[in-house]
Amino acid sequence: MDGTHDGALQQDGDRKRGRWYRFAAFLFLVPAAGILIGVLNRSGAWYAALDKPSFNPPDAVFAPVWTILFLMIAVAGFRTFEAEPRGTTMRLWSLQMILNFAWPPIFFSVYRMDVALGVIVALFAVILAFVWRQWANDRLAATLFIPYAGWVGFATLLNISLLRLN
């Protein structure tokens, strides 16, 4: 075997290893950031004192649901990044992360349910845009965002109801 072939094999191995490192980074950093945002912006006494709609889930539901969703968001983000790191769909993925992480401090720390409503409506729209754009390119990445869209849609109704009741 010549040295050129060995070099090509080495490059292929380096690419695969880099791909796994990026995958691990997405899988770790997305949920870790979500957990950090949650810890820094707990619901607390203010939220406990609010009048809530009958469909408000118990507080214990939110952490496990968000952990699963953040893992799904991470996989979709990784797949999108690998396909087109500077493309429109990756920008949509990044924008939904910014909006997602902006909502808890606005709602739970600044107590601005009205502004939080604007953020979550924008988040829902960006999630739907991501699904729409990815459907033809990467059906798995798009499908991973469908439960997320459902949860954010539900959270939007909850935000509206809390705003109306309080």
Q: What is the pTM of this model?
A: 0.90
Per-residue DSSP letter, 145? T
Number of domains in the chain: 1
Which domain range does residue 25 map to?
A: 3-165
- 1-32 pLDDT, tens per residue? 455 555 555 665 666 788 999 999 999 999 99
- 101-139 pLDDT, tens per residue? 999 999 999 999 999 999 999 999 999 999 999 999 999
Distance CA 100, CA 154 (A): 14
Is 148 within 8 Å of 73 (Cβ atoms)?
yes
Is 57 within 8 Å of 106 (Cβ atoms)?
no
